[in-house]
């Protein structure tokens, strides 16, 4: 007697060690439809009853939700854990995504194209011959199996095909002409994000034997390690806010809604708004300063709920002290003010770079963190773009946490936060790594053949 699709069950949950990857556990007599449906949304098999979705754009919850709806439409029972459902329901935005003209869905289209390039490289369908760094990002040249040779531009979720060529020889020659002495043989080293995706798959593959899917892996005890403050866990924001109120008698609080508490300085020219029970990528702190109780804002700052409390504490302490230390508004953002604000970064030898309108300082060492100044936003005092972005995590355009300040934020405020970034230490809870030294596989394809006529293109989504 044939089995019904309802006999199949799929459990979707977050990966225990990779922050956004999604694991699918399948149970039932006939799993062909379930496997095919999950594979259509990017899930890869780990063993007979387990599949994994891991992406370089960290959009796994979005695609897992699509897969869940497709499975239910096919009559398959799907269970989604509360933690994954919370991620699905959180419609977060990319801070400082470089393609500012794109909306959220168009950003996903760009990421989907980049994911396909990544998958083609790891599967061996696309062989990378040469790579280089053009001063801003990684570029490469490679050939598809029995198809065209391409130039690639960018990394991770921002990688695009920037040109196609008739033959590999023509593409390689043009690549060497463009990048000269910067050209290196073979594929570039895997990025941190690419290594994480590989580790997520490998760790899951070794967590249990293929024939014993119902036996859970032995949980590993978490441990605490000391890290630079920008790589630390968020900490207790509720307790920090309460400590601030208890230590500042000149501030009074009121709670207009259950989810919001506001603290006003007695002068009514400084305001701290705290949102309770927000998601990690949501803004839960807004700090603002006013010239008079009835004037427009002079400047403001926002911070996400995943921001380490030490960074928030530096913000709050400086704001509270700033009320008694003179002017809070700089008349305009000058080179001298920028240099003074970022002096702690220069003293700590943070990497300094300029890319168009952006001036950036990035932390040395393996942990990612930085400060970015947007010269365009700094001269648009009534605009919505932040002039300063202080961040930690993957990159400034996709941070784990971000604190942003508008134009004319006090130089002393930026400087105090920058000092905390360079000198502060924090704690991070981690699970012991199961595998070390994993490298992204870069399989080599057979010798390429000539492709069609040359064309060159760049992405124009939504432009």
CA distances (Å), origin 336, targets 339, 411, 433: 5, 10, 45
The answer to whether residue 347 sits within a structural domain is yes
Question: Are 266 and 358 within one domain?
Answer: yes
CA distances (Å), origin 199, targets 87, 213, 285, 344: 21, 20, 34, 35
SS3 113: helix
Q: Which residue, of 61, 92, 123, is where some domain finishes? A: 92
The answer to whether residue 310 sits within a structural domain is yes
pLDDT at 21 > cutoff 90: no
Q: Which residue, of 35, 58, 92, is where some domain finishes? A: 92
Which of 124-133, 392-401, 402-411, 438-447 is predicted least confidently? 438-447
The answer to whether residue 404 sits within a structural domain is yes
Question: Are 264 and 395 within one domain?
Answer: yes
Provide the pLDDT for residue 30. 79
Which of 23-37, 158-172, 324-338, 435-449 is predicted least confidently? 435-449
pLDDT at 366 > cutoff 80: yes
Question: Are 37 and 133 within one domain?
Answer: no
φ, ψ of residue 363 to 5 degrees: the values are -65, 140
Q: How confident is the model at residue 94 (pLDDT cuts 50, 70, 90)?
A: low
Question: Are 319 and 173 within one domain?
Answer: no
Reading the block at residue 253, the tokens are 């609080």
Question: Are 122 and 144 within one domain?
Answer: yes
Continuous segment of H or E residues that includes residue 421: helix 411-423
Question: Are 317 and 358 within one domain?
Answer: yes
Q: Where are the beta strands (DSSP E) in 277-362?
A: 283-290, 297-304, 351-355, 358-362
Question: Are 399 and 265 within one domain?
Answer: yes
Reading the block at residue 382, the tokens are 């009534």
Task: Tell me the average pLDDT across 61-74.
Answer: 92
- For residues 256 and 239, give the distance between their C-alpha atoms in angstroms, rounded to a whole number: 19
Provide the pLDDT for residue 451. 32
Provide the pLDDT for residue 93. 67
Task: Tell me the average pLDDT across 398-425.
Answer: 92
Provide the pLDDT for residue 139. 94
The answer to whether residue 215 sits within a structural domain is no
The predicted-structure confidence for 238-288, as pLDDT tens digits, reads as follows: 999 999 999 999 999 998 887 899 999 999 999 999 998 787 778 899 999
What's the CATH code of the domain at 14? 3.30.780
Residue 127, burial from CB neighbour count under 10 angstroms (0-12, 13-18, 19+): buried
φ, ψ of residue 38 to 5 degrees: the values are -65, -40
Question: Are 326 and 457 within one domain?
Answer: no
The answer to whether residue 292 sits within a structural domain is yes
User: What's the mean per-residue pLDDT of the chain?
Assistant: 81
Question: Are 281 and 381 within one domain?
Answer: yes
- For residues 22 and 55, give the distance between their C-alpha atoms in angstroms, rounded to a whole number: 10
pLDDT at 91 > cutoff 80: no
Write the Ramachandran bin of 433: left for phi over 0, alpha for psi from -120 to 50, otherwise beta.
beta
Provide the pLDDT for residue 285. 94
Residue 45, burial from CB neighbour count under 10 angstroms (0-12, 13-18, 19+): middle
Provide the pLDDT for residue 192. 80
- For residues 141 and 224, give the distance between their C-alpha atoms in angstroms, rounded to a whole number: 42
Task: Tell me the average pLDDT across 73-82.
Answer: 91
The answer to whether residue 44 sits within a structural domain is yes
The predicted-structure confidence for 101-123, as pLDDT tens digits, reads as follows: 888 888 889 889 999 999 888 88
Question: Are 73 and 129 within one domain?
Answer: no
Based on the structure, what is the number of domains in the chain?
Answer: 3
Question: Are 242 and 185 within one domain?
Answer: no
The answer to whether residue 418 sits within a structural domain is yes
Provide the pLDDT for residue 296. 83
Question: Are 144 and 72 within one domain?
Answer: no
Domain containing residue 78: 6-92
Reading the block at residue 344, the tokens are 């702690």
Say how far residue 372 (Cα) sits from the centre of its chain.
Answer: 15
Q: Which residue, of 45, 76, 92, is where some domain finishes? A: 92
Task: Tell me the average pLDDT across 86-105.
Answer: 76
The answer to whether residue 222 sits within a structural domain is no
């Amino acid at each position: 007697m044939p089995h019904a699709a309802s006999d199949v069950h799929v459990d979707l949950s977050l990966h225990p060690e990779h922050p956004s990857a999604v694991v699918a556990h399948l149970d039932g007599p006939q799993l062909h439809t379930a496997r095919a449906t999950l594979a259509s949304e990017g899930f890869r098999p780990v063993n007979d009853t387990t599949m994994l979705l891991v992406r370089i754009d960290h959009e796994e919850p979005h695609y897992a939700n699509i897969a869940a709806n497709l499975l239910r439409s096919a009559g398959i029972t799907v269970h989604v854990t509360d933690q994954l459902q919370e991620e699905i329901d959180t419609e977060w935005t990319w801070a400082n995504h470089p393609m500012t003209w794109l909306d959220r869905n168009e950003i996903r289209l760009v990421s989907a194209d980049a994911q396909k390039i990544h998958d083609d490289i790891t599967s061996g369908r696309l062989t990378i011959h040469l790579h280089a760094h053009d001063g801003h990002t990684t570029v490469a040249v490679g050939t598809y199996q029995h198809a065209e040779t391409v130039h690639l531009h960018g990394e991770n979720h921002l990688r695009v095909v920037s040109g196609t060529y008739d033959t590999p020889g023509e593409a390689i020659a043009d690549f060497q002409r463009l990048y000269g002495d910067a050209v290196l043989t073979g594929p570039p080293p895997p990025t941190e994000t690419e290594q994480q995706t590989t580790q997520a798959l490998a760790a899951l593959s070794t967590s249990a034997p293929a024939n014993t899917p119902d036996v859970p892996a032995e949980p590993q005890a978490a441990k605490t390690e000391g890290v630079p403050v920008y790589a630390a866990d968020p900490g207790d924001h509720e307790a920090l806010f309460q400590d601030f109120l208890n230590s500042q008698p000149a501030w009074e609080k009121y709670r207009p809604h259950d989810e919001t508490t506001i603290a006003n300085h007695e002068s009514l020219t400084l305001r701290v708004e705290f949102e309770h029970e927000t998601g990690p990528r949501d803004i839960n702190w807004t700090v603002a300063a006013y010239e008079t109780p009835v004037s427009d804002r002079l400047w403001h700052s926002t911070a996400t709920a995943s921001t380490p409390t030490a960074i928030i504490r530096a913000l709050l302490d400086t704001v509270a002290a700033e009320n008694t230390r003179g002017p809070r508004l700089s008349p305009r953002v000058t080179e001298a003010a920028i240099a003074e604000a970022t002096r702690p970064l220069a003293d700590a030898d943070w990497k300094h770079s300029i890319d168009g309108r952006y001036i950036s300082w990035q932390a040395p060492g393996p942990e990612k963190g930085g400060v970015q100044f947007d010269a365009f936003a700094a001269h648009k005092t009534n605009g919505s773009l932040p002039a300063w972005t202080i961040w930690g995590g993957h990159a400034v355009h996709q941070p784990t946490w971000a604190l942003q300040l508008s134009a004319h934020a006090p130089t002393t405020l930026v400087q105090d936060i920058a000092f905390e970034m360079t000198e502060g230490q924090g704690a991070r809870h981690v699970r012991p790594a199961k595998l070390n030294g994993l490298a992204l596989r870069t399989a080599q394809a057979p010798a390429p053949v000539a492709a069609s006529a040359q064309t060159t293109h760049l992405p124009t989504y939504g432009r």
